[in-house]
């Protein structure tokens, strides 16, 4: 279960690359990824209800952002959803919750990847992009990921003249290396998939 269609596109694009993840394909039908109509708050408050009414799956993975109006801490979000899953018969050993801090765009920021630069229409080097972000008051972490990743992506795309859309997220997820991503919540996602579907 995911909170929006953008996350759906990214997750599906990554899962299509299951060999790069070292897993067998988890896809069996079109309902593999369920999108909650009420976005992150809906996943948090009522996601378990929708999952309990859906066809039973061998494993359940819930993915949402930590940054939304009224959101508690990421740890609280995860614990609350896990508890709700257990109340509808989805146990901890066949489920997990990934709370991306602060939001999905943290996964797709890979400044040093030429495919990323091409997709965002950046006409320059990764160093140029780092300097542009810093000049525009976007703080970067040790892995060159902006602390406000969605806002930074929107700003860069506005600068390069490419409209912000879920298609960009999908394109990035289809081509960037899955081995070099060091984002902790992506590693949690990858490790859980390896536990469940590892070759």
Full DSSP string of the chain? -BSSHHHHHHHHHHHHTHHHHTB-----STTSSPBPTTHHHHHHHHHHHHHHHSPP-S-EEEEEES-STT---HHHHHHHHHHHHHHTT--GGGEEEEEESS-THHHH--TT-HHHHHHTT--S-HHHHHHHHHHTT--B-TTS-BSSHHHHHHHHHHHHT----HHHHHHHHHHS-SSS---HHHHHHHHHHHHHHB-
Cα(52)–Cα(33) distance, rounded to whole angstroms?
A: 14
Please report, in tens digits, the pLDDT of each residue of the chain (199 residues total): 999 999 999 999 999 999 999 999 876 555 589 999 999 999 999 999 999 998 888 999 999 999 999 999 999 999 999 999 999 999 999 999 999 999 999 999 999 999 999 999 999 999 999 999 999 999 999 999 999 999 999 999 999 999 999 999 999 999 998 988 889 999 999 999 999 999 8
């Amino acid at each position: 279960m995911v909170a929006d269609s953008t996350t759906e596109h990214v997750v599906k694009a990554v899962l299509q690359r299951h060999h790069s993840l070292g897993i067998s394909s988890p896809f069996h039908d079109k309902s593999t990824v369920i999108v909650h109509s009420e976005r992150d708050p809906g996943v948090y408050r009522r996601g378990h209800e929708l999952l309990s009414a859906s066809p039973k799956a061998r494993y359940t993975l819930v993915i949402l952002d930590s940054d939304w109006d009224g959101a508690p801490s990421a740890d609280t979000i995860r614990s609350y959803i896990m508890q709700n899953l257990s109340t509808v018969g989805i146990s901890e050993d066949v489920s997990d919750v990934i709370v991306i801090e602060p939001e999905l765009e943290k996964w797709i920021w890979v400044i040093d990847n030429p495919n990323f630069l091409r997709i965002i229409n950046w006409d320059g080097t990764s160093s140029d992009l780092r300097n542009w972000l810093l000049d525009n008051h976007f703080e970067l972490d040790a892995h060159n990921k902006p602390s406000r990743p969605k806002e930074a992506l929107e700003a860069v795309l506005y600068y390069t003249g490419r409209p912000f859309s879920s298609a960009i997220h999908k394109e990035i997820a289809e081509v960037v290396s899955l081995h070099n991503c060091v984002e902790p919540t992506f590693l949690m996602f990858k490790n859980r998939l390896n536990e469940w579907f590892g070759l």
